[in-house]
Chain A
């Protein structure tokens, strides 16, 4: 690894990771009035989407959007200011976290309501068709939101009207404190997509370099065939911890959903988990230790300089 595009990808992933850890440090100090959903562990897909988007593509986000906003804007300062609800913020302090959009970076709509953004994405795709504009609509959602009827409605609408779109389903298996197995039967998204003759692809492993290659192909496929493509992304939201509780000798598992992640600390560096569940760990395997440290230190230094 050493070409400029690879370095840029690495910098983006590390920027998203460090930015979130810095936000988390301030969150732990009770500096924010607004609720923030960190997306530690979601960096690979965010950086990959940023890498494949061109000026004609638009991105429509859901409540856990911090990673996409950081990936697109490539600045922590404006996002922090937004979280502090300052006029200098990314959205002039008007949107906060769960609705944060950034038109300048083609993030045109973000919803805090599960499944809500899918319909707006359909409207945007229809708008592109009517206006004859190029590009694809990329809409993010999760394993919780696909339980909403709007997921079906919009897959149906997009397919019926020959509208290209990438529907990214971030599957972290959790809806707040409830695991999939605790709340529902399995949804075979592949078969679900097949039922309306839409395409399906699963991405796993948190490898941005591989994700980008495949996402470029899927984007082309969506545009060429004028079809929605469901892309299920297997990932883990890092930041879980074990709470001391009577009856739980090893502590009770607490899945990270929102708010500060108490066990994540800036002093421990960018890698949170030494496994493929951590996109930064996966990224690190592509680089010599020294080179990785050099990129990592540089990214952190620049971030800290800008927010000082």
Chain B
């Protein structure tokens, strides 16, 4: 099953279980249905599925209006760039609404076009900026575990949030794995436990983090694997405790934001832990991103393995 097929399956079940809901967005029930993300959505009586006009600014405000009417809604958006048009509502309207503490749900689920070759526009991958400007809860989905947990607990729960999914992962087999624990607020997931290194994945980098975990395992380096599924800084305690044990941290973040919570984690880790290695893999934000390109976060797996292996040897010598 592909990543989108799984997400679509979970969404379909969740929205059909919801008594009154409005699902809206451009082409959500037409054509490819956002590459399959919104295919075959069904809702109960007194609910609606609307293929809307191309009015993203207003569509954001309409979701908040529905919230004030105590009607749950999900606005599906073909690419994150479109959300730029709705920033007034994400900030100003939400500031009013949150004072009311509404019991209805409004979720914007957008696709991050991280598949490459889009050029200077249409390739926004900046959930952190949207969430930061409005202090909005935001979530990224990267595998079967977090998809099930985040969609089931967040998609139609009271309040407002943004959930982002990756286009790069759309037709890839969804990663099925097991978790050790996850926070009840769906912000942090831990998948493996190891004594040698701590890998922390941000945004959509869980596949790369898992790949690194496997490569390290082949070299007898056991690592703890975390995924931070929210773009704003959180309480880093579980990660800090893990790094205190391993002394090595590898942070991977493929967001194009300059406003990265992984930097916040790094500061905390450097303050709290005695480190042998702090390896940060993130994007170089320069004009090379503006021309059509594969949009791939380059990870020097061998280099990371080399550094960690050297560190392990030093540890053994001590």
Contacts and interface: CB of A to CB of B under 8 A. Distances in A.
Nearest to A114: B88
Given A130-B22, A130-B46, A156 B53 contact: yes
Interface string B237-250: 00000000000000
Interface in B66-119: 66-71, 88-89, 92-93, 96, 99
Given A157-B52, A161-B50, A127 B58 contact: no
Given A108-B68, A126-B66, A119 B99 contact: no
A119 B89 contact: yes
B58 A153 contact: yes
Contact of A130 (B47, B55, B88): B47
Most chain-A CB neighbours within 10 Å: which of B47, B53, B67, B70? B53
Given A127-B65, A130-B46, A160 B53 contact: yes
Contacts of A160: 52-53
Contact of B48 (A95, A118, A119, A130): A130
Nearest to B100: A103
Contacts of B69: 123-124, 126-128, 130-131
Most chain-A CB neighbours within 10 Å: which of B65, B67, B68, B71? B65
A116 interface: yes
Contacts of B47: 130
A116 to B, nearest CB: 6
B228 interface: no
Interface string A87-116: 000000011000101000000111111001
B88 A113 contact: yes
A109 B50 CA distance: 24
B71 A131 contact: yes
A99 B57 CA distance: 20
A116 B50 contact: no
Contacts of B59: 119, 157
A236 B163 CA distance: 46
B122 interface: no
Interface string A170-198: 00000000000000000000000000000
A149 interface: yes
Contacts of A150: 57-58, 61
Interface in A123-163: 123-132, 149-150, 153-154, 156-157, 160-161
B289 interface: no
Contact of A109 (B22, B60, B68): B68
B64 interface: yes
The 7 A-B pairs of least Cβ separation, nearest first, read A123-B65, A127-B69, A119-B61, A153-B55, A123-B62, A153-B58, A119-B58
Interface of B: 20, 22, 46-48, 50, 52-53, 55, 57-71, 88-89, 92-93, 96, 99
